[in-house]
Amino acid sequence: MSTLYIARFIISFSWIYHGIFPKLLHIAPLEHAMTASIGLSETTSYWITKSAGVAEVVFGLCVFIYFRVRWVIYLNILALTGLLMLVALLYPVVLIDAFNPVTTNITLIALSLILLNSLNQKKG
């Protein structure tokens, strides 16, 4: 399997997994704590988390389908960077936990850069 497809599968899988399991099937305590830290009501926090889960699944499917479209990969890098900064602002204690967004997001950004490099090699 080529590097292009490995990066595609891992990036897509990560978005889809993080949308389904800690947000849609069961709201993980950490997800709840992060949305609650904004000061929203329980109901609003619940629906924001569920909506984020749907958005992550849809985006993961978009990355899977449109992995050869560079702006989708750039949007992925932007989203991962933005989410990392959002966590750093809203709930910074998470950044030092095990399996934290620093290691996850930076790894996915690196895979995105590998994907872009692979696309550039195929083009040129």
pLDDT on residue 123: 76
5-48 confidence digits (pLDDT tens): 999 999 999 999 999 999 999 999 999 999 988 998 999 999 99
Long-range own/partner contacts, residues 55-60 (CB < 8 A, 24 or more apart): 55/19, 56/15, 56/16, 56/18, 56/19, 56/23, 57/15, 57/16, 57/19, 57/20, 57/24, 58/19, 59/15, 59/19, 60/11, 60/12, 60/13, 60/14, 60/15, 60/16, 60/17, 60/19
* Mean pLDDT calculated for residue range 98-105: 93
44-80 confidence digits (pLDDT tens): 999 999 999 999 999 999 999 999 999 999 999 999 9
pTM: 0.94
